[in-house]
Amino acid sequence: MLTESKCEKIIDEALGLAERASSKKRPIELEVTVHSNQESTSRFAGNEMTQNQSAEMDSLSMRLMVAGRQVKVTGERMDKTGLTNLLEQGLTCAARLEEDPELWPPAKLNSKRYPGKLPRFRRFDEATAAMSAEKRAELVRSAVEVASRRGVSLAGIVSSGDEVTAIGNSRGLRQFCRQSSLEISLTASAGDSTGWAKAFSTKADIDVSALAERAISKALAGRMPQDIEPGRYLTILEPSAVLDLLAFLWWDFAATSHIDNLSSLKDKLGTKVFSDKLTIVDDCSHPLQHGLPFDGEGLPRQSVQLVEEGVFKNIVTGRRSADKLQLPQTNHCLPQPDSMGEMPLNIVVKGGETSLDDMIASVGADQEAILLTRVWYVREVDPATKLLTGMTRDGTFLVRDGKIARPIKNLRFNVSLFDLLNNIVALGESVGAAGEEGIPAVVPPMLVKDFNFTEVTKF
């Protein structure tokens, strides 16, 4: 992995080369992003290791602005020759472009417009980053042991690694962040049923046996699933299900989605659009969050209130989009150029006081509710109404009279996020959740009414 001092040296060298090539006639501005990543993933299925890989990759991008013409070139050779070649390639391309008078130079730290400080946190753990194949195999064996004892078949991954992101530019900005990660996800199969559990952390603090127990218990409770009529049901969504549905809403808070008329929240700023039970912030400093303290241009990410008691409060912006919409600059740019512009990447949905058990207990004798462990293959059917479709998976149960009545076959749903988030009955405690559609976030379990299941499948 590239160290902070090595990244600095490479960035300085690249900026030096650009400065020397810059002239009055051909002024060059440069933003350099160095990315270094090592990730190792042990995969197993049927209680046996099936694949096991480890890869390291470094890359360097130069976003060049040459007399108002922008080009991004990416390579991996970080010696002087490599950097010179990359710069030359970028300059050759730029010379073929038309000038864009609206192009902005790279970002400046401590500018008048934005004097903010970098959020401080440590998300790097040496032992997690350096976890060996043998150690991962040990974790796999621990999980498989629990499965063998319970007579089920287990599949999953143990994935560990770390990554470095460093940004520097010709306006004096310098940023560096290194973070480690551990991800474990498990699927238990018990004949005609499956159960799933997943955890993500920036350090090796995941209890793999407890996670296996969760997946296995779901699978065992799900045996002999029965048919159910589709329709609108009171529904209990576990945090992973909430995360993977709400993931389709986050870009609608981004300035570019408003500028391009693609946001379902367009022209709704300051109005009440969701249940007053819903409060959402984007906060990269939250202790259960992960990710970088700066945005794609290297500016310090701001904590932003997106929704307060159902009212759409703020749009996340980058330098340019803030200026265009005349909104506060929140520093949520994706690495530029990007057609999506910005994204809130550190979502925290405020929780409530109703535990998952309380939600189950609240279902009356004359009521039926459906409990979802997770959702799968969620896609946007209609971006304007935020109509989503998807399937349930790995643990779907009918709840009646205060308890889980029986496992049921999986269902397809078609649900508008506006309906879902106006139909909240209760929220549980917010937790660090991981799914497969969105990046990990801090979300609570939800009890919602009238969740629209449209079809059943055969398992």
Cβ of residue 60: shortest distance to other proteins, in angstroms?
A: 10
Figure out which of the listed residues 106, 225, 390, 428 binds other proteins, where binding follows CB under 8 A: 390
70 binds other proteins (CB under 8 A): yes
Q: Which is nearer to other proteins, 8 or 358 (CB)?
A: 8
Cβ of residue 287: shortest distance to other proteins, in angstroms?
A: 26
357 binds other proteins (CB under 8 A): no
List Cα–Cα distances, 109 to 15, 77, 104, 106, 172, in angstroms. Answer: 17, 28, 14, 10, 8
Residue 373 is inside which H or E element, if any? Answer: strand 368-382
Figure out which of the listed residues 214, 286, 332, 393 binds other proteins, where binding follows CB under 8 A: 393
Q: Which is nearer to other proteins, 242 or 388 (CB)?
A: 388
Cβ of residue 215: shortest distance to other proteins, in angstroms?
A: 9
Contacts 24+ apart (CB under 8 A), 317-324: 317/255, 317/342, 318/255, 318/342, 319/104, 319/107, 319/113, 319/114, 320/104, 321/254, 321/255, 321/256, 321/259, 322/255, 324/255, 324/259
338 binds other proteins (CB under 8 A): yes
**Which residues are within 8 A (CB) of 170 and not within 5 positions of it... i.e. 6 or more apart?**
15, 18, 19, 28, 29, 30, 31, 105, 106
Q: How many CB atoms lie within 10 A of CB 364?
A: 12
144 binds other proteins (CB under 8 A): yes
163 binds other proteins (CB under 8 A): no
Q: Considering only residues 26 through 55, tell me which ones interact with other proteins, judged by CB under 8 A.
A: 39-55
Q: Considering only residues 291 through 330, tell me which ones interact with other proteins, judged by CB under 8 A.
A: none
Q: Which is nearer to other proteins, 210 or 429 (CB)?
A: 210
Cβ of residue 61: shortest distance to other proteins, in angstroms?
A: 8
Cβ of residue 63: shortest distance to other proteins, in angstroms?
A: 9
Q: CA 427, CA 447: separation in Å to the nearest integer? A: 6
Q: Which is nearer to other proteins, 47 or 355 (CB)?
A: 47
Phi, then psi, of 180 in degrees rounded to 5: -105, 165
Q: Considering only residues 72 through 101, tell me which ones interact with other proteins, judged by CB under 8 A.
A: 72-79, 89-90, 93, 96-98, 100
376 binds other proteins (CB under 8 A): yes
Q: CA 356, CA 203: separation in Å to the nearest integer? A: 27
Cβ of residue 380: shortest distance to other proteins, in angstroms?
A: 6
Half-sphere exposure of 87 (CA within 13 A, CB side): 23
**Which residues are within 8 A (CB) of 28 and not within 5 positions of it... i.e. 6 or more apart?**
18, 19, 21, 22, 64, 65, 66, 91, 170
Look at residues 269, 252, 256, 270 and name the one whose alpha carbon lies nearest to residue 323. Answer: 256
Q: How many CB atoms lie within 10 A of CB 9?
A: 13
Q: Which is nearer to other proteins, 76 or 357 (CB)?
A: 76
Q: Which is nearer to other proteins, 50 or 110 (CB)?
A: 50
Torsion angle of C-alpha atoms 207, 212, 213, 218, degrees rounded to 10: 140
Please tell me whether residue 256 adopts helix, strand or coil conformation: helix
Cβ of residue 153: shortest distance to other proteins, in angstroms?
A: 7
Interface pattern 408-447 for other proteins (x via CB under 8 A):
--x-x-x---------------------x-----------
142 binds other proteins (CB under 8 A): no
Contact call for residues 165 and 25 (beta carbons, < 8 A): no
Choose the stretch contacting other proteins; rule: CB under 8 A; options: 121-129, 348-356, 362-370, 381-389.
381-389
68 binds other proteins (CB under 8 A): no
Q: Which is nearer to other proteins, 45 or 118 (CB)?
A: 45
When computed from its CA atoms, the radius of gyration of the chain, rounded to whole angstroms, is 24
Contact call for residues 54 and 28 (beta carbons, < 8 A): no
Q: Which is nearer to other proteins, 266 or 313 (CB)?
A: 266
Q: CA 72, CA 42: separation in Å to the nearest integer? A: 34
Q: For the chain, what's the residue count?
A: 459
Q: Considering only residues 193 through 232, tell me which ones interact with other proteins, judged by CB under 8 A.
A: 194, 196, 230-232
Cβ of residue 206: shortest distance to other proteins, in angstroms?
A: 15
Contact call for residues 317 and 330 (beta carbons, < 8 A): yes
Figure out which of the listed residues 106, 119, 156, 440 binds other proteins, where binding follows CB under 8 A: 156
Cβ of residue 411: shortest distance to other proteins, in angstroms?
A: 9
Cβ of residue 46: shortest distance to other proteins, in angstroms?
A: 6
List Cα–Cα distances, 127 to 2, 135, 162, 203, in angstroms. Answer: 17, 11, 10, 8
110 binds other proteins (CB under 8 A): no
